[in-house]
Structure 1
């Protein structure tokens, strides 16, 4: 897996919504100075139109060249009705200011001043006067079904005590219900009541290539609904540390890097291919850098949708081990014969290395074992055991190559469902 840089960790600003607060920090992407893509760049898409009544179709076919600009415009027109703004509101205290004269009812001062002659000295005081529902944040999302299922980032709807609604492209405001928050990924599913909604088809993020044209759409800065930006896929399989949300630092793996402008408020909006299919979800931008944004691969969100539709919740596979990745340093310290793999160890507070009743316990894994491969894939710092488990499903049987006391063995585990705690 490829890191963003080799010399430093780039801290990212989670694109949560523009929060309505007394002091709001806004990060801009200097879009004004960027030049648009040249008009008329062609892509390799040729539509052949046969001339009616022609005997020699090959000699009389009409080739219609679709330009890059035309393809982008058509895709945007088609998907825009399915892109929504996600708004969070909450009952907040209404604070009232009033003034008092601290000398007015003080018997000590009244001894020295006749009635009505006390100094007119006013001190401000504050008190709560009820509550008022106010907007506290906004982000983006997009419809993925005609019956109102919406995908967005978890950090956009992270406040469990807030109420959520979506603003449609035509200005309608509809109450939204949070159906599920992904416990491991920055993903969430919302639902609005109704039928016949326009929705965005999902592409396949496993088939992406660097250099592909992409389109980012979202509620930029929480103010400019359905803002469009165009760029390319700059990189794939990035690992980043995202900061700036109440969720805290998050390590996001396998994310898509793009130079399409992504701004605060774009969180949860779709990253589209030129055919108008969602291939990612706008999630983060690099602070202090230009044209470096990141999106979660859509296949992660598609897995969450399937889980919710089939089981009513988002599920993850579970092996049940605590481990550290073996490095060259650990190899030398422990005098291991390998410099890769997952070494099964106790937790930092002395917790058991193997969870009781877990698949790992059932197949006989022990503290000190080294899992070299999981499902035929070598485990190392770039491809961790946790990452490989994420790609598997509950109930799936997976082979493990294990090193125990310098002896290799192959075991098979059936993944359980990850406990909620």
Structure 2
């Protein structure tokens, strides 16, 4: 009896173990089936929900919508930007009335009867001598560059050197071939900027938004559009910002030289004819005006920061011309620091503070050290003349000034530069 009980007990234990394993397997399988998706799937669903398109007809029964993944590449952004902006980029063409010269031939023996008869022109044309004379004048294209619309009512920006010839007539050639006469409203004396206008009250022009050139970064992608070589209109090139605050010396075809400060360096291809054209960021905003290239080097171009042009454009729209602010001081760099300027007399004893100037009205004194202008530290990358030139007449600017052991903030109201300076 004891043996039978032992056998039954063993069978009972085995049966219990079997059923326990079976139930555990079923429960485990059920829990695994109901377990959350892996974290990658969860993240995927969150993204899909964010970018899924809403149902087109809210009244229809709710259905499971398939997630829509939208990928925007840099190439897509550039294509879109060019499509939106290309019609606002134009060619600026200069024409002049130039003499038409014609060639004609004369018999050198015209006044000598003997030789004239002996060597008649119809028999000996090789003896005739070529001569030249003017036959009226003809409008002739003498140069071309690039410009771009900055308002729907026909205001344009370009480089000053594109419209430097005051005797020439200027016209705007659109991307679709349409042509308009243009008036040069202003040529900036201190920056390579000019402002043009098309008088066409019946038409509104596509224009480009001006970005903030102070916010650009080295390495960011930029796009240049221009009238390359004066022949290939609206040529597009892509590159990056290679450097900032570049100071260069530029020269024109006549050998005239000009110091340019604070420029953007880019490796986007900039060629003759691109001058005055826009340099875009990928948002389609203009951050620079293509101005110069380094001779003898490849992919080294320079663009004027567009913020330099904003003040002049605002002046022209308000006053009809560019007004220049001035502070009215003479100065030199501070030797003991890498920033700041000290107010000193001129070489011939001229006062450090000009009489009646904003500096005099603000109480500045000879020997004062101006450390920053409007919150910007004065130095090689931010010279005082550029900082003042970027401000409008009537603006109040805070100067940080060191006088002896004292550091003080002095507000100054900028006046218009006198014509005699």
For normalisation by structure 1, the TM-score amounts to 0.76
Match of 1:81 among 79, 87, 92: 87
Greater per-residue helix proportion: 2
Question: For the aligned residues, what is the CA RMSD?
Answer: 3.1
CA distance in 1, matches of 2:395, 2:411: 10
Change (3 A) 1:142 1:100: same
1:218 is displaced (CA, Å) by 0.5
SS at match of 1:296: strand
Alignment of 1:91 onto 2:97: yes
Partner of 2:163: 157
1:250 is displaced (CA, Å) by 2.2
Partner of 2:53: 50
1:327 is displaced (CA, Å) by 3.5
Match runs of 1:163-178 below 5 Å: 163-178=169-184
Greater mean deviation of Cα atoms: 129-138 or 48-57: 48-57
How many aligned positions are there? Answer: 361
Tell me if structure 2 keeps the 8 A contact 1:345–1:353: yes
Greater mean deviation of Cα atoms: 131-140 or 245-254: 245-254
Provide, for residues 87-133 of structure 1, a one-character-per-residue CA deviation record: whole Å limited to 9, x for no partner.
00011122233344555447xxx7xx577347985444333332211
Greater mean deviation of Cα atoms: 124-133 or 181-190: 124-133
1:399 is displaced (CA, Å) by 3.5
Change (3 A) 1:73 1:177: same
1:155 is displaced (CA, Å) by 0.8
Partner of 1:290: 298
Partner of 1:43: none
Change (3 A) 1:339 1:192: closer
Q: Which runs of 5+ in 1 are unaligned?
A: 1-45, 329-337
Partner of 1:18: none
Change (3 A) 1:343 1:70: same
Provide, for residues 358-388 of structure 1, a one-character-per-residue CA deviation record: whole Å limited to 9, x for no partner.
2123345455554344334443333322122
Partner of 1:389: 388
Partner of 1:358: 357
Q: Which runs of 5+ in 2 are unaligned?
A: 1-48
SS at match of 1:129: strand
Greater mean deviation of Cα atoms: 241-250 or 170-179: 241-250
Structure of higher CA gyration radius: 2
* Higher RCO structure (Cα 8 Å, ≥6 apart): 1
Match runs of 1:285-324 below 5 Å: 285-324=293-332
For normalisation by structure 2, the TM-score amounts to 0.76
Change (3 A) 1:148 1:395: same
Greater mean deviation of Cα atoms: 171-180 or 392-401: 392-401
Provide, for residues 316-335 of structure 1, a one-character-per-residue CA deviation record: whole Å limited to 9, x for no partner.
3211123332346xxxxxxx
CA distance in 2, matches of 1:259, 1:300: 21
Partner of 2:186: 180
Match runs of 1:14-413 below 5 Å: 48-52=51-55, 60-101=66-107, 104-105=110-111, 113=114, 116-117=117-118, 122-194=128-200, 195-244=203-252, 248-327=256-335, 340-347=339-346, 353-365=352-364, 369-402=368-401, 406=404, 408=406, 410=408, 411-413=410-412
SS at match of 1:169: coil
Change (3 A) 1:103 1:114: closer
Tell me if structure 1 keeps the 8 A contact 2:109–2:116: no
SS at match of 2:299: coil
Greater per-residue strand proportion: 1
SS at match of 1:78: helix
SS at match of 2:313: helix
